[in-house]
Structure 1
Amino acid sequence: MIKIVVDSTGYIPKEVLERHDIKVVPLKIRFGNEEFKERDISVEEFYRRLVSSKELPKTSQPSPQDFIEVYKPLLDEGHEILSIHLSQKISGTINSARIAIDTLKTDRIRIVDSQSTTFSLRFLAEYAISLIERGLPFEKVFEETQNTVKRIYNRFVLYQLRYLVEGGRLNKAEGLLGEVLNIKPVLSFTNGEVKVESVARSLNRAKEVLLKFVKEIFDTKGIERLTIIHGINRDVEEFVTKIKETGDLKVEKLLCGAVIGVYGGPEWIGIGILGKS
């Protein structure tokens, strides 16, 4: 049987994990001398500590041993494993997975680089499960899931840039300019890296750019799934309403936790789309 493994940045709901028996390898977060596995600190507690902390927390990837502890029992039971993770260009998570595979000396594990994070992991995991339920063989499931990465589109806006800058994911000069001029960069994961797609003169204008992006994908690619990813900002429902005006869309919401919150900050909003093409 084929089993799915993801890392904790997918923030896949517990009921989905249990229903499909998806295994999770957690990333880690450190506040000063305190280290937590991501799933051991609640989203509410994390954001409370984030906004009150003078020093930003640090994140770290799972160790190879963390992967071995998940992989080995599945291999011992005779399963094949599809392991789906956040981009290797922003985290060493995939590298740890590869070391674990080499240590286990197995050819029954395949890794899918989502080229982004959060929504992509759930999109890809549930798509892979649909293929498994259709009875496709392991290599075909891997190939089709890998190809589906090309159908994932995204944009996001951070309300404050300091978290992304201090986390080393955005140039300091760009971040400083943005804060001083109240410029809001519209960002994307492109080829696995964070890229500035455009800039807007205010948060409202940045949101308009996101809405136009949804309309463009809706008109040119078609939309199979759409997820609003966000922090603890209070404007999410209003944004969902505006998204639904684009067309006949079911909009999912995903409150992201600790690892993504370290870089995104407490308030941000983004769009993840699985296109029909």
Structure 2
Amino acid sequence: MSVGIVTDSTAYLPKALVAQLAIEVVPLQVISNGTAFNEVDGITVEQVATALRAGKSVTTSRPNPDLFVAAYENLHANGADSIVSVHLSSELSGTYESAVLASRRVDFPVDVIDSRGIAMMMGFAVLAGARLAANGAAHADVVSLINRKCSGASITFYVDTLEFLERGGRINAIQARMGKAMDLKPLLHMINGKVEQRELVRTSEKALARMVEIVSAAARIKSEIAVHHVEAQAPAEAMATQLMMRTGVTNIEVSPAGAVVGTHVGPGSIAVVVSPQV
């Protein structure tokens, strides 16, 4: 039995690994000034940041279920007997719902998993599942591994302003207004699939230093760590260097977040994902 793996574009997987492991990636959309763009190859996070700074309207949209049907059928046509489809938190997007609807339209087994996360928080789980599937593992074993990776992962992120999260309805408006009124820098995390404020810090420098402390406490030598950013390459790389020194993890990839995440967190944001080895 061969197991195919599907995810969505907010996993932000390295393209080389997507090709190597034959992962199907279904894109979300970004709507900028009324025009819809495919997140994978239609718009960059830099273009989104420019639009946000200019005060333009930028929103995001779930994939049409037809795209999931096409992804499932493509893998099935290429030898997959069953599919595992892993997606960003259903608390943040209707993407999971679209995948579930699509799974009911095909005549082979599809398990749709709500990662309760985003970015490499689910990306590490997708890669682990794809590697296991490539080695001939049973469908149930692939599902089990992905679920364990997702449930054990964490994300901590810094945003320069809560404006964009509030605008997109991804954070409590009262929390956002408190942060702005007190001129504090927020550190956020995800709890049960929702973005929640973890703490408020006086300056961006102190916020980033606090992030290093939080992530170092959560990580182990055998953890996998990824750093994402939106137009914050230098501080993101500095954070990765500090984390390697503090945690003993020797390979931390630093990469831009995509256009969808960029739309909701805005320029200057940095996120760190920790995923356990299971």
More deviation in 239-248 or 167-176? 239-248
Q: Which amino acid aligns with 2:35?
A: E
SS of structure 2 residue aligned to 1:260:
helix
Residue in structure 2 matched with residue 135 of structure 1 by the alignment: 136
Cα distance change on mapping 1:136 and 1:123 into 2, 3 Å: same
Q: Deviations over 1:162-221 (max 9, x none)?
A: 000101111222212212322122211111111112221222222222111122123xx5
Partner of 2:25: 24
Counterpart Cα distance in 1 of 2:229 and 2:70: 31
* Aligned equivalents of 1:158, 1:270: Cα separation in 2: 9
Kept in 2: contact 1:87–1:114 (CA 8 A)? yes
Report the counterpart of residue 159 of structure 2 in structure 1: 158
Q: Which residue of 2 aligns with 1:85?
A: 87
What is the TM-score when the length of structure 2 is the normalising length? 0.92
Query: Matched residues in 1 for 2:127 and 2:6: separation?
Result: 11
Amino acid at match of 1:229: H
Once the two structures are superposed, the pairs formed by residues 57-136 of structure 1 within 5 Å of their partners are 57-79=58-80, 80-104=82-106, 106-136=107-137
Q: Which residue of 2 aligns with 1:241?
A: 241
- Distance in 1 (CA, whole Å) between partners of 2:99 and 2:235 is 37
1:183-222 residue pairs with structure 2 within 5 A? 183-218=184-219, 222=221
Give % identity: 26
| Structure 2 partner of 1:224 | 223
Structure 1 gaps, min length 5 = none
The number of aligned residues is 273
Aligned position for 2:51: 49
Distance 2:58 2:228 in 1: 21
Structure 2: segments with no counterpart, 5+ residues? none
Inter-partner Cα distance in structure 2 for 1:15 and 1:78: 21
Aligned residues of 1:4 and 1:83 also touching (Cα < 8 A): yes
Q: Secondary structure at the match of 2:246?
A: coil
Give the superposition deviation at 1:136. 1.6
Q: State whether residues 46 and 257 of structure 1, in contact with CA within 8 Å, keep that contact through their aligned partners in structure 2.
A: no
Determine if contact 1:228/1:240 at 8 Å carries over to the other structure. yes
Residue in structure 1 matched with residue 267 of structure 2 by the alignment? 266
Distance 1:223 1:194, change over 3 A: farther
Cα distance in 2 for residues equivalent to 1:84 and 1:150: 13
Report if the CA contact (8 A) 1:63-1:96 is conserved: yes
SS of the residue corresponding to residue 190 of structure 2 reads strand
Contact 2:33 2:58 in 1 (8 A): yes
| More displaced 10-residue stretch of structure 1: 183-192 or 84-93 | 183-192
Matched, 1:6 2:23: no
Is 2:48–2:58's contact at 8 Å kept on the other side of the alignment?
A: no
SS class of match (2:199) = strand
